[in-house]
């Protein structure tokens, strides 16, 4: 799919009309959910999947990790076949089983045609009866699985919702500027601004004493457009940080000068890459700066929890689960590698790090064991509009040593 773009001349100023053109272009990729392309999961995509209501037509939700071994040839196919066979055996109705087979065939064909260039796995959401087809590349390894349910099974995607893992990358030049959305190790180009080479101005019949003035004014005009384009990309894709690459220091300075103050607070750092680089090179170039931001924010979050003390924070798995049950969690911090079995009460919804005979909160015997109580805790925190910090850096993990692999900053 072609990257949405606009062209600006040296005489174009940022105006409501230019803003409307940019917004219209930015909405194009968000609305494109079909076809042979893997999208990076955005908060808007996740909300759209969550809002799909149950229908009589089941939805196939298919998750597949893409390890280096599975990327070689058709290395992914053995796992795909195993998941597909297991799913079909669980479906008793013959007509429904044929429908599931059709959706599996569509996914197999998509995988055969193309694997995402970047990412740690894929997620598909398919239901031809309601026109649903999402083909997503995920940045973290999620458990393999095939789910045939009345609505998209999105619970595994909760682990992609890190508070500090949503970046917008801007590669800036006067001839062409490129904007990407990114999670660490994965990028998707979403917008371009094509400018005019200032040498073209000088080629025109311009008086010598006017050339510097005209070029300076052209630079300011384009800087305003690019600054507001960065602002609109951040807003459209809910980016948390803006990372900038620019080969021309004067252009970068001019753009930063025109960024609104609230956007300037989202600048996370700089990186270096050639303006025409492919997405793999862009991802590799930005990763060190992204990891530096992630580590800084993780350490700050864990330090706030430590400093809050036992009255304003919950430390350890069960204490954190108790705080979630009471609706007190403002920020949930979890070691991204932490998973454990546990239990959930079918009456009050309480989560437990061990399996009790009766629910300690309401006394009910409706206790169900769960494979991963941490995943349910993450999902519940997001439902309660808590911030989520998935800890991946060594420095933040070291700070969590005395707290345990799960902790929370409390609202009250």
Low-confidence ranges of the chain (pLDDT < 50): 30-36
CA-CA-CA-CA torsion sign (239, 59, 32, 52): negative
E strand segments, 198-357: 241-246, 267-270, 313-315, 329-335, 342-345, 351-352
Residues 72, 232: Cα–Cα separation, whole Å:
39
SS3 state of residue 369: strand
Q: Do the beta carbons of residue 66 and residue 121 sit within 8 Å? A: yes
- 3-state DSSP call for residue 45? helix
Q: Over the stretch 291-334, which tens digit does the pLDDT of each residue have? A: 999 999 999 999 999 999 989 999 999 999 999 999 999 999 99
How many CB atoms neighbour CB 199 within 10 A?
Answer: 10
Q: What's the pLDDT at 250?
A: 81
**Beta bridge pairs of residue 267:** 242
Residue 372 CA, chain-centre distance (Å), reads: 22
CA-angle at 65, arms to 62 and 71, nearest 5°: 120
pLDDT for the residue numbered 325: 96
* 3-state secondary structure at position 196: coil
The C-alpha atoms of residue 324 and residue 297 are separated, in whole angstroms, by: 22
Question: Is 343:355 a contact under the CB 8 Å cutoff?
Answer: yes
Confidence at residue 32, expressed as pLDDT on a 0 to 100 scale: 44
Q: What is the pLDDT of residue 208?
A: 58
Q: Distance between terminal CA atoms of the chain?
A: 48
Q: DSSP letter string over 18-32?
A: HHHHHHHHHHHHHH-
pTM as predicted: 0.86
Distance separating alpha carbons of residues 32 and 300, to the nearest angstrom:
37
Q: What are phi and psi of 16, to 5 degrees?
A: -55, -35
Return d(Cα 390, Cα 405) in angstroms, integer.
10
Q: Which two tokens stand for residue 268?
A: 């996370």
Q: What is the structure's pLDDT at 209? A: 55
Q: What is the pLDDT of residues 343-360, one digit of tens each?
A: 999 999 999 999 999 999
pLDDT recorded at residue 212: 60
Rounded (10°) angle between helices 16-31 and 208-237: 40
> What per-residue confidence (pLDDT) applies to 210?
55
| Model pLDDT, residue 33 | 37
């Amino acid at each position: 799919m072609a990257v949405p773009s606009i062209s600006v001349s040296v005489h174009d100023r940022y105006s409501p009309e230019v803003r409307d053109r940019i917004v219209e272009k930015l909405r194009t990729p968000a609305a494109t959910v079909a076809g042979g392309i893997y999208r990076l999961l955005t908060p808007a995509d996740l909300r759209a999947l969550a809002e799909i209501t149950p229908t009589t037509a089941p939805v196939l939700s298919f998750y597949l990790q893409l390890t280096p071994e599975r990327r070689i040839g058709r290395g992914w196919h053995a796992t795909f076949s195993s998941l597909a066979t297991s799913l079909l055996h669980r479906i008793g109705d013959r007509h429904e089983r044929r429908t599931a087979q059709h959706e599996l065939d569509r996914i197999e064909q998509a995988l055969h045609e193309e694997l995402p260039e970047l990412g740690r796995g894929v997620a598909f959401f398919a239901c031809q009866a309601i026109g649903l087809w999402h083909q997503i590349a995920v940045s973290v390894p999620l458990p393999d699985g095939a789910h045939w349910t009345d609505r998209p099974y999105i619970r595994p995607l909760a682990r992609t919702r890190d508070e500090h893992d949503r970046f917008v990358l801007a590669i800036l030049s006067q001839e062409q500027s490129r904007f990407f959305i990114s999670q660490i190790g994965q990028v998707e180009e979403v917008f371009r601004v094509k400018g005019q080479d200032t040498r073209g101005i000088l080629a025109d019949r311009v008086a010598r004493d006017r050339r510097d003035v005209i070029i300076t004014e052209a630079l300011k005009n384009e800087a305003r457009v690019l600054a507001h384009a960065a602002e609109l990309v951040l807003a459209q894709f809910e980016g948390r940080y803006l990372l900038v690459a620019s080969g021309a220091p004067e252009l970068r300075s001019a753009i930063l000068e025109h960024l609104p103050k609230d956007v300037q607070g989202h600048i996370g750092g700089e990186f270096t890459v050639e303006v025409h680089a492919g997405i793999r090179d862009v991802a590799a170039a930005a990763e060190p700066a992204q990891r530096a931001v992630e580590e800084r924010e993780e350490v700050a979050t864990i330090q706030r929890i430590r400093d809050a003390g036992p009255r304003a924070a919950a430390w350890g798995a069960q204490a954190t689960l108790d705080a979630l049950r009471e609706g007190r969690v403002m920020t949930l911090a979890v070691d991204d590698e932490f998973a454990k079995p546990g239990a959930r009460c079918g009456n009050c919804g309480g989560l437990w790090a061990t399996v009790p005979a009766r629910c300690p909160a309401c006394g009910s015997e409706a206790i169900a064991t769960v494979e991963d109580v941490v995943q349910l805790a993450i999902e519940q925190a997001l439902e309660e509009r808590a911030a989520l910090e998935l800890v991946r850096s060594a420095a933040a993990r070291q700070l969590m040593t005395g707290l345990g692999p799960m902790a929370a900053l409390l609202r009250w």
